[in-house]
Amino acid sequence: MRMFPRWLAAGLTVLTVTACSTGGTSAAPPATTAAGPLAGVCPATVVVQTDWFPEAEYGAYFQMLGENPAFDGDTKKVTAPLVDGGTPTGVQLEIRFGGPAIGYQQVSAQLYADKTITLGLVSTDEAIQNSAELATVAVAAPLETSPQMIMWDRARHPDVRTIADLGTTGTPVLYYQADTYMQYLLAAGLLHAEQVDGSYDGSPSRWVTSGGDVAEAGFATSEPYIYGNELGEGRSYDVDLQLVADTGYPMYGQALSVRAADKDALAPCLAKLVPIVQRAQVAYLTDPAPTNGVIVSAVQADAGSVWSYSPGLAEFAARAMRERGIVGNGPDATLGNFDTARVAHMIEVLGPVFAGQNKPIKAGLAPEQLVTNEFVDPSIGLPAS
């Protein structure tokens, strides 16, 4: 979960997008057709809780919105008939925004606080952390690899190639205090306690003030583009980065998840819905431009938000997800399935971390309690590029 805005407009950011709405609620979406493969099987409105504002990482879900989606800037959501390749499925889809919209609460906590939510986006480390009291099961992984990363300025750090290299130089590393992976990087000796600073709030101000001398946590799908193109006043930085996943922290980011106790009751719905999500992710990555327009419009409809999202950033994010393997088929030909060995490794890594924080995980936690492939269609994957 992104606990704070990844970048703020505090006099540093210049955007050129013209809002398509002045906020509030747009016209209601057309009524859903009564017939369809999900009608009577899934809830009449399938509610997906995201962990941040609309962005390209949620492309699969925005791809599933039918025509004339209703953007609600007051309640922070977008609603439309749920479609599969443009064909109505007989139910509605409601995508709810996260981050500030839910008080920066973890999605797993929001799932339990609001039982009208059908599915939420929960990363593996969050699921492990809350396994004892807020148990969730991930039913699909639209993202093969988490986009979380640490970046640095190429010009100021020409010899740095990896996060471990940063550790040898003592370069200050700014990160969000709530980012669990930092405890792993410290325990593994890749970074050192004296060089990391958890007070980072997402603003580029310290980077700019230092002239790019510091390193920063963020997302490979956003900050590299923002720092190269959207800081304004002639500021532009050529950054390099390493994904945290490539250091031995292979979590599934923003996995589509349900409350553990609800999985069996939702099974008939999930058996039909998860392949639709898989197809939507393939369709989005194949031609992201139309759906990116919907994502940008959803952000613009939230007129009072601190979050801005430009068409250029959306385009960059979609390309970065494909090129960096953030979305992909993994070692097989299937998009969206889980490798339980990866999940087992995450349990092994994070068990001691959470125990040290007096937040013990569920005793005897096994990967099968956190993820399932039973609803994933193994025949659906990205075509070879």
Q: The CATH number of the domain where 260 resides is what?
A: 3.40.190.10
The answer for 136, left when phi > 0, alpha when psi is -120 to 50, beta otherwise, is: beta
pLDDT (tens digit per residue) in 56-108? 999 999 999 999 999 998 899 999 999 999 999 999 999 999 998 999 899 99
Token pair 């979960």 is found at 1
Residue 22 domain-assigned (yes or no): no
Q: Does the residue 92 lie in any domain?
A: yes
Are 295 and 342 contained in the same domain? Answer: yes
Question: What's the confidence (pLDDT) of residue 148?
Answer: 97
User: Does a structural domain hold residue 18?
Assistant: no
**Same domain (yes/no): 56, 124:** yes
Q: Are residues 295 and 326 in the same domain?
A: yes
Query: Which pLDDT does position 5 carry in this prediction?
Result: 45
User: What pLDDT score was predicted for residue 202?
Assistant: 85
* In a shared domain, residues 130 and 275: yes
- Residue ranges, the chain, pLDDT below 50: 1, 3-33
In a domain, 76, yes or no: yes
Is 36 among the domain residues? Answer: no
pLDDT, position 267: 98
pLDDT score recorded for residue 15: 30
pLDDT at 303: 67
Backbone angles phi, psi at 48, to 5 degrees: -115, 120
**What pLDDT shows up at residue 225?**
98
Regarding whether 117 and 49 lie in a shared domain, the answer is: yes
Instruction: Based on the fold, state whether residues 292 and 327 are members of the same structural domain.
Output: yes
- Domain termination residue (choose one: 247, 270, 287): 247
What is the structure's pLDDT at 385?
67
Look at residues 217, 247, 277 and tell me which one is the last residue of a structural domain.
247
> Is residue 3 domain-resident?
no
Instruction: Report how many domains make up the chain.
Output: 2
Q: Is residue 380 part of a domain?
A: no
| Residue 379 is assigned to a structural domain of this protein | no
Say yes or no: 207 and 111 in one domain: no
Tens of pLDDT, residue by residue over 244-280, are: 999 999 999 999 999 999 999 999 999 999 999 999 9
Same domain, 118 and 173: no
Examine the domain organization and report whether 79 and 218 are in the same domain: no
308 lies in the same domain as 167: no
Same domain, 158 and 300: no
- pLDDT value of position 320: 98
Residues 368, 351: Cα–Cα separation, whole Å: 16
Domain range enclosing 286: 45-145+251-369
Same domain, residue pair 74 and 115: yes
